[in-house]
Amino acid sequence: MEILYIAPSIPNNFSRVRTMNLLKSFKANGCKVTVVALCIDKRELEYLKDFSDDIIVVRGSKFISYINCFISLFLPIPLQNAYVYSFKLHRLLSKLSKEKYDLVYIKRLRMAGYAKHFNKDRVFIDLTDSLTKYYDRVRKYSKGIAKIVNTEEYFKHLKYEIKIVRKYNTVICSSNDKLYLEKKHNVKLDNMRVIYNTIDTSVWYNKDIKSKKNRKKIVFSGVMDYMPNILAAEFIINEIMPKLPLDYSITFVGKNVPLELKKYESSRIHFTGFVKNMKKELEKYDIYLCPILAGSGVKNKILQASLVGLPIIVNHLGIEGIKEGFENYVFLAENADDFVCKINYLNSIDVSSKIKGGQDFIRKFYDYKNCTKDLIK
């Protein structure tokens, strides 16, 4: 099968994990994939050295993207869509539309405008998660200008997302997000398929699970300028850490740490910035803490922490979208006192069987090789 994969940025194994695993899955199932990626931030070009697929990179301009965003403030166009508008990319895809691709896979709702060049019956648009749901939640925690922008994005996506979903075949990473859209718009989305976020279990799986008490090195991971991660970090720092003894520490692993978080750096609170190998970094810690206050979709960080072998303390929103049954392999907490209580509790028991159960669950349902089989059929 010949597939054209259109992405809003150059794929990588840190912040574009879903894309990389989808591409690996297509290849593992015998497909030939041509990737067309938009590159607005030239720093992304460093990811090309690790990229083995056929890839065509279309360079964009941040200056033009910002102008497009400014104009979109006065139009019914979401900011994300305006940011990735590229005349050069439209021109290239118009030429490629004459090629005989069996499937045109478009990553992210923001790229949906490029679908017009192709027969819509061969197009699948991967929303990943519902942006209507995302902005609906995030706007409630935002302040000042951010609240105005996020509220505007919510109402724009409320109309735009369902328009795209009704017109094209779509993919989403969580049945929860699909159900949200169906209830929100009182429709049945038969043309929407669920493809979970996945993980390369052969790479991430850690067999060496040690029985360990006095777990005091806590970790959280993610792209740190992402709003849900900022909210989670502030909750951990301000609500949980003051209630723990002074010999407990928290490390936030991930790139793009904003100044509003860097100000908390101390002997107990650390930020690594970008790390080359997330697995090796996570293996240094004792507990994975994940209080998600806003957001949508399935969190790759949970899949990673589980396979690495960390006991996970998380709220229900943090595992929302993960297949039913996984809650049996994590420690659930809903407020700061609950999180502190669970930290103390797991330090009083042997958690190895719970960790291994979570690993087996992820290996069974979330390995990347299986995620595209039904779509290909």
Domains of the chain, start order = 2-195 (3.40.50.2000), 201-365 (3.40.50.2000)
pLDDT at 376: 86
pLDDT at 52: 66
**Interatomic CA distance for residues 306 and 298, integer angstroms:** 13
The total number of residues shown for the chain amounts to 377
Integer Rg of the chain from CA:
21
**Interatomic CA distance for residues 170 and 23, integer angstroms:** 17
CA distances to 10, 117, 333 from 316, in Å: 32, 41, 8
Assess whether pLDDT exceeds 90 at residue 47: no
Tell me the average pLDDT across 207-230: 89
- Report the DSSP beta bridge partners of residue 273: 253, 254
The pTM assigned to this predicted structure is 0.86
The proportion of the chain whose per-residue pLDDT surpasses 90, expressed as a percent, equals 77
Range with the poorest average pLDDT among 197-201, 267-271, 288-292, 293-297? 293-297
pLDDT at 46: 81
What residues contact 316, with CB distance under 8 A and at least 6 apart?
327, 332, 334
Q: How many CA atoms lie within 13 A of 92 on its CB side?
A: 16
Q: Considering the chain, what is the average pLDDT of its residues? A: 92
| Phi, psi at 205, each rounded to 5° | -65, 125
Range with the poorest average pLDDT among 183-187, 196-200, 339-343, 357-361? 196-200
Assess whether pLDDT exceeds 80 at residue 358: yes
DSSP helix/strand/coil, 285: coil
